[in-house]
Copies of this chain bind each other. A is one copy, B any other.
Amino acid sequence: MDNYKSLKPFLEPRSIAIIGLSRRTGEGSNNALENLLGYGYRGKIYPVNPNTGEILGVKAYPSIKDVDGPVDLAVISTHRSRVPAHIRECAEKGVKCISIVTQGFVDAGDEEGSRLFKEIADIARSSGCRILGPNSFGSANVYHNFCSAFARIHMQRNPVGLICQTGGLFNSSSEFRFIGKGLDIGNTCNVDFADCLEYFEHDPEVKVIVLHIEGMADARRFFNVAKRISGKKPIVALKTGKIEQSVRAASSHTGSLAGRHVVWEAALKQAGVISVDSFEELTDITRAFCLLPPLTNPNVCVATFSGGVAIMALDAMRNTGLHAGKLSKTTGAKIEKLAPEWLSVGNPVDHWPIVMGSGSMTRTLSDILEILLSDAEFGALLFIQIVPSPAMSREIKGILDSLAAKYPSRPLVATLTGPCSFELVRELQNEGRILAFTAPERAIRALARVHEYIEFRLRSPAD
């Protein structure tokens, strides 16, 4: 619980000092204070800037020492040469947590940068302060309307704890927010992956932990901690630095040792970490863990408007634990009652001819899906549907919403194609209740990774 206590001010600060805050405000100015006010952050904010008495109507202080109240968290973004002095002042003031935004330490590749890096690491050690960074985007907690970063982030309450080495992930994918809560450990002079993992281990609001790893100094401790936690909460990781050039780039980006890719892959797997291969997969799998109830078995039912697209889904099951088993007699008979006599009903269930031949398309489609979803022999239902028009989009959304409400414990994934599907997928993404993708392979991949994790949990139960 040590890290849960000591890192808490990064995520739930009652007060924050922003050292080196610019007076520039408005669009494109990247003013952290302006952002905090915009989020509706309710703690105390102390801008520190020796050249002004106020910024955006908030009283500014010449130095952290002049701040009258207690400060939970300080954020430093001054020139690198002045960072050690600011940290010492923070320590004297009794600030326990400090984020360093400033770049140009080990990432700069020069001697001065390395010297300063060592200096701030030493201050952290001797003072007991916890330091995030340097070269950190900061920390965020949308449950507290809080983000210390200079760039504005989107506040969506996903139960995700992000630990990353690039601020790029705070604003993250266009399709999903990895925050929830987030810590950019940057160049890691003091707070590292293992520390943050232990924080999210104990955070009841975090259900899924996401890692963006460029490299790290103490991999052994990380794997020990990850192994303990992965049995309790899914840890999804994107390890970058897979080729020599990106390893070099990682070294100049975060000054970290990337290590050999294959070794990493094996070690992550060993620790029960769900390792993903791309930004898009990170997005899809994290979202899947947020939204899907657990699969009780690997048998997937596919209901499809198109035989051809269903075959793509079956292909995607290759080398996963998933399969599309036969329909049970009972379920088959129920579907056959609705279907035209010539249709041979199986899995995939070709719902198009059934729906087309029926009096009420929406009703029949909904009936079919309900029959399939309530068959416990299936661990999940993949629904592949074309969205030809805005009117049909509303119908389909209505069906999905009511099914999700009626069967909350049944894993349901939609693959939507056709003219109006992009917009419907976007709408479902924003609402955050139903898992939907624009391609069948992405839907199957999401189901497969969630299923893999459930199997892993069964093999290695949490203590």
A249, CB-defined interface residue at 8 Å: yes
With A422-B426, A438-B175 known as contacts, the answer to whether A315 contacts B28 (CB < 8 A) is no
Give the residues from 356 to 391 in chain A that come closer than 8 angstroms, CB to CB, to chain B. Answer: 356, 361, 386-389, 391
Determine whether the beta carbon of B278 is less than 8 Å from that of A316. yes
A246: nearest chain-B partner, CB-CB: B314
Q: Residue of B at shortest CB range from A113?
A: B342
Q: A438-B280, A439-B279 are in contact. Are A249 and B418 (CB under 8 A)?
A: no
In the complex, which residue of chain B has the Cβ closest to the Cβ of A104?
Answer: B342
Interface readout for A392-419 with B: 1 if CB under 8 Å, 0 if not?
Answer: 1000000000000000000000001111
Check A311 against B154 for contact (C-beta < 8 Å): no
What number of A residues sit within 8 Å (CB to CB) of B?
A: 84
Contact B342 A166 (CB under 8 A): no
**Would you call A249 and B310 a contact (CB within 8 A)?**
yes
Q: Given contacts A317-B243, A421-B174, A422-B175, are A212 and B278 in contact (CB under 8 A)?
A: no
- A110 CB, nearest partner CB in chain B, Å: 8
The CA-CA distance from A297 to B389 in the complex, in Å, is 43
Tell me if A280 and B311 are in contact (CB < 8 A). Answer: no
- In the complex, the answer to whether A152 meets B279 with C-beta atoms within 8 Å is no
Contact residue among B28, B172, B243 (Cβ-Cβ distance under 8 Å from A418): B172
Quote the shortest CB–CB distance from A364 to chain B (angstroms). 12
State how many angstroms separate the Cβ of A438 from the closest Cβ of chain B: 4
Q: Scan residues 18-34 of chain A and give those whose CB is less than 8 A from a CB of chain B.
A: 27-28, 30
Give the residue name and chain of the B residue nearest to A171 (CB).
B418
Known: A154-B419, A278-B441. A307 touches B386 (CB 8 A): no
Residues of B within 8 A of A197 (CB): none
The answer, yes or no, to whether A55 is at the interface (CB within 8 Å) is no
Q: Does A323 contact B (CB under 8 A)?
A: yes
The smallest beta-carbon distance between A239 and chain B, in angstroms, is 9
- A439 to B: closest C-beta gap in Å: 4
Q: A171-B419, A174-B438 are in contact. Are A108 and B249 (CB under 8 A)?
A: no
The 5 closest A-B pairs by CB, nearest first: A166-B308, A168-B306, A253-B307, A246-B314, A174-B422
Q: Which residues of A contact B (CB under 8 A)?
A: 27-28, 30, 80, 103-104, 108-109, 151-154, 164-169, 171-175, 212, 214, 238, 240-243, 245-246, 249-250, 252-254, 277-280, 283, 305-312, 314-318, 323-324, 342, 344, 346, 348, 353, 356, 361, 386-389, 391-392, 416-422, 425-426, 438-442
Q: A168-B308, A171-B386, A241-B311 are in contact. List 15 more A-B contacts (CB 8 A).
A: A27-B391, A28-B361, A152-B388, A166-B306, A166-B307, A168-B417, A171-B388, A174-B420, A174-B438, A246-B315, A249-B311, A253-B307, A254-B307, A277-B441, A280-B441
Q: List 9 A-B contacts (CB under 8 A).
A: A108-B342, A152-B389, A171-B417, A172-B418, A212-B308, A243-B318, A249-B310, A252-B344, A279-B309
